[in-house]
Amino acid sequence: MKNLPERSRKRLVQLSQLLSQQTGRTITSLELEKLTGWSNSVIRRDISFLNCRCGASNGYKINELQTALKQFLGNNEDKKNCCIIGLGKLGETMLSKKLLDGSAFQIIAGFDANVNKTEILHSDFPLYPTTQLERVIKTEKIRYAILTVPDTAAQLTADILCKCGIWGIVNYTKTILTVPSSVAVENISLLSALSDLAAMHSDMQNITNSEYMAKMPFTEGTK
């Protein structure tokens, strides 16, 4: 198998989500360009990594493309087990199974250092004190952790997770985590998202007008 470029992987993940929002039977690379802002050639090349040959002359067959995407992204096998660590306000919003319904993931455990919380809160899956973290992750084959602990506990918790052989961490805290490179981290704190938007905007201001215009894939609203 050809090596999938990192950028392509990220786009394919989004593409899969986008297709699930689409109604038609087929879709062309040009239509996808309008929806995503990515060039039609980059879209065609991304899709060609799938080797699915599910489109020609009339665009891609959405069903077949979606199937190929799921297979390629490792989303078609058994559901991947996830857990939530830290049941503060943010963690509490994730105690419902519905959250990941219809996806390749399921949350099967929650953890909090405060035993009161794990006893009082209602949830669709069992809640444990953090002391049980290592044991439950191993016995329940939990692959991904959703980290919603206070910033001060973030790195400490991450260290434990890494020791348990977790595959990846969704980091909702604003702490930048240091982990072995075998563990993947996605930072989705509000602050990092806003900071990145602001940096993007500030960077745009630094580009001269002509360069700026050249960067625009289309000039007006894309709906």
Partner DNA sequence: ATTTGTGAACAGTTTCACAGCG
Partner DNA sequence: CGCTGTGAAACTGTTCACAAAT
Site for a copy of itself in 175-194 (CB under 8 A): 175-176, 178-182, 184, 186-188, 190-194
Check binding of 47 to DNA (CB under 7 A): yes
- Name the H helices within the chain: 6-20, 29-36, 40-48, 62-72, 89-92, 115-120, 133-139, 151-163, 190-206, 209-215
Q: Which does 200 bind (CB under 5 to 8 A by kind): DNA, a copy of itself, none?
A: a copy of itself
What, of a copy of itself, DNA, none, does residue 181 touch, CB below 5 to 8 Å by kind?
A: a copy of itself
Using CB under 7 A as the binding rule, whether residue 45 contacts DNA is answered as yes
C-alpha distances in Å from residue 140, one per residue of 16, 149, 205: 28, 21, 50
Task: Spell out, one character per residue from 37 to 76, where the chain touches a copy of itself: x when CB under 8 A holds, - when not.
Answer: x----------------------------------xxxx-
Choose the one of a copy of itself, DNA, none that binds residue 40, judging by a C-beta under 5 to 8 angstroms depending on kind.
Answer: DNA
Partner from a copy of itself, DNA, none contacting 57, C-beta within 5 to 8 A by type: DNA
Residue 49 is encoded by which pair of tokens?
A: 């990594």
- Listed in sequence order, the DSSP H helices in 78-168 are 89-92, 115-120, 133-139, 151-163
Give 180-202 as a DSSP string: -TTSEEEE--HHHHHHHHHHHHH
Q: Can residue 55 be called a binding residue for DNA (CB under 7 A)?
A: yes
Residues ≥6 apart with Cβ < 8 Å to 9: 73
* 88 C-beta neighbours (distance < 10 Å), count: 14
Closest approach of DNA to the CB of residue 56, in Å: 4
Distance in angstroms (rounded) separating the CA atoms of residues 166 and 186: 13
| Number of C-beta neighbours around residue 107 at 10 A | 21
Span from 50-58, 109-117, 125-133, 209-217 in contact with a copy of itself (CB under 8 A): 209-217
Q: Which stretch binds a copy of itself (CB under 8 A): 40-48, 50-58, 90-98, 120-128?
A: 90-98
Min dist. Cβ of residue 12 to a copy of itself (A): 7
From residue 220, how far is each of 37, 206, 223 by CA, in Å?
Answer: 12, 21, 9
Q: For the window 116-155, what string marks contact with a copy of itself as x by the rule CB under 8 A? A: ---------------------------xx-x---------
In this structure, are residues 50 and 69 in contact, taking their beta carbons and an 8 Å threshold?
yes
Q: Under the rule (CB under 7 A), what is the footprint of DNA?
A: 3, 5-8, 28-30, 38-42, 44-45, 47-48, 52-60
